Homo-oligomer: A and B are copies of this chain.
């Protein structure tokens, strides 16, 4: 369990190592990932952060806003990271794919909670932010589809999309396992499995 047991009751204020908002958000993400959006109450989040539930309204407009604030940067980070990696290898689809895989695996291993959130709780959002996130996700997928289509011309776009989603499922399997295996070894296993899954050799 993620415990942030800084100042409880009285005394000197927070050390403010970074914005309180971000601190609270990280705690909320952990709870959402562990028990689901609807399974966590504002009081739960407050308690975990060392404050009461209503205190959270000084940092976020509401519960939904917390989920949005947690999910948007993930989609943006994946998309921008993916675009950057692809741009590094113009005309070399094979190298671009290897770099995409490396990037995504590292991202998934570094942010398992947020990955799980993305997989499970996206549908709990209201129309507008959900559409925005879906749009970012779609653009990210299309980066993969473009690279895959160059690498395997026998596939049409929709087939490449199936493979891209399959690859995400593979690489995002990381939140489901406790760290019995060393992180670097796990990254290597996932990279190899993904490259073989997508290219067949």
Contacts and interface: CB of A to CB of B under 8 A. Distances in A.
A135 interface: no
A170 interface: yes
A197 interface: yes
A187 to B, nearest CB: 10
Tell me the number of copies of this protein: 2
Interface string A165-179: 111111111001100
Contacts of A120: 36, 119-120
Interface centre among A34, A185, A200 (most CB of B within 10 A): A200
Q: Is the interface of A mostly helix, strand, loop or mixed?
A: helix
Give the interface size class of chain A.
Answer: 35 or more
A198 interface: yes
Contact of A166 (B38, B121, B173): B173
A91 B151 CA distance: 37
B166 A189 contact: yes
B123 A189 contact: no
A87 B134 CA distance: 43
Interface of A: 34-39, 119-121, 123-124, 158-159, 161-163, 165-173, 176-177, 180-181, 185-186, 189-190, 192-194, 196-201
